[in-house]
Chains A and B, each alone.
Chain A
Amino acid sequence: NAGVTQTPKFRILKIGQSMTLQCAQDMNHNYMYWYRQDPGMGLKLIYYSVGAGITDKGEVPNGYNVSRSTTEDFPLRLELAAPSQTSVYFCASTQAGAWKETQYFGPGTRLLVL
């Protein structure tokens, strides 16, 4: 199993550009999550999904969108990049819910918005 994979590993965007961060898992997990981690800060939940076709907002959803058309994939869309979105983005998954069991994280995408 590859576990949780993320692409790209690193990206530089100009202000106002858009991009999609890809996340895929091959563990047949129902729950998937997107987090951002700013320097010296804890991870903040952006969006999460409890299954295909179901998504919900986390703590910091503004400026982002998600979709979950399959169990495996959970892309994160940035429509109008802003410098405040410079961060490291982690995707995670779990079978039975974050409140119950550990999450498995992808290697992260480092995003720089200039």
Chain B
Amino acid sequence: RKEVEQDPGPFNVPEGATVAFNCTYSNSASQSFFWYRQDCRKEPKLLMSVYSSGNEDGRFTAQLNRASQYISLLIRDSKLSDSATYLCVVTGDFGNEKLTFGTGTRLTIIP
């Protein structure tokens, strides 16, 4: 089983629609979880951290289920500017500097 597994897509979604991405991870000792966004030929940038209680930032909602080792990202009212690759990122246990990146889910918003 891969350490971090994502559906690579591509997801082609009409503007205004809601889209959800999922990610599973294998290390039950992982402490922190993030969603990064990566535009074509650019560096990854933090989209949001993921907390056990769930968190929301505008149109974006992230959820963490530790029991199932599962992370999700929901994008509501999608915009053309949301087109990008979304990377699920999982840390190790306390003090472990190794981040594990998923291969990313590619999203294209269609006008």
User: Are A and B physically bound partners?
Assistant: yes
Q: Which residues of A contact B (CB under 8 A)?
A: 31, 33, 40-45, 48, 50, 56, 58-59, 90, 97-103, 105-108
With the chains together, A48 CA to B8 CA distance in Å? 28
| Majority SS at the chain B contact face | loop
Q: Which of A33, A41, A90, A105 contacts B97 (CB 8 A)?
A: A33
A31 CB contacts on chain B under 8 angstroms: 97
A58, B98: Cβ atoms under 8 Å?
yes
Count of B interface residues, CB-CB < 8 Å: 26
Residues of A within 8 A of B95 (CB): 97, 99
In the bound complex, CA of A31 to CA of B93 (Å) = 17
How distant is A104 from chain B, measured CB to nearest CB, in Å?
8
Let me know if A99 and B103 touch, CB within 8 A.
no
| A-B contacts at CB below 8 angstroms, number | 61
Complexed CA–CA distance, A108 and B38 (Å): 12
Contacts A98-B91, A99-B94 given; does A107 touch B101 at CB 8 Å:
no
Other A-B pairs, 14, CB within 8 Å; known A43-B101, A98-B97:
A31-B97, A42-B87, A42-B101, A42-B102, A42-B103, A42-B104, A45-B99, A59-B98, A90-B43, A98-B98, A99-B92, A100-B31, A102-B34, A103-B46
What residues of chain A lie closer than 8 Å to B16, measured between beta carbons? Answer: none
Taking CB atoms, residues of chain B closer than 8 Å to A33 are 97
**Max chain A CB contacts within 10 Å: which of B8, B43, B93, B102?**
B43
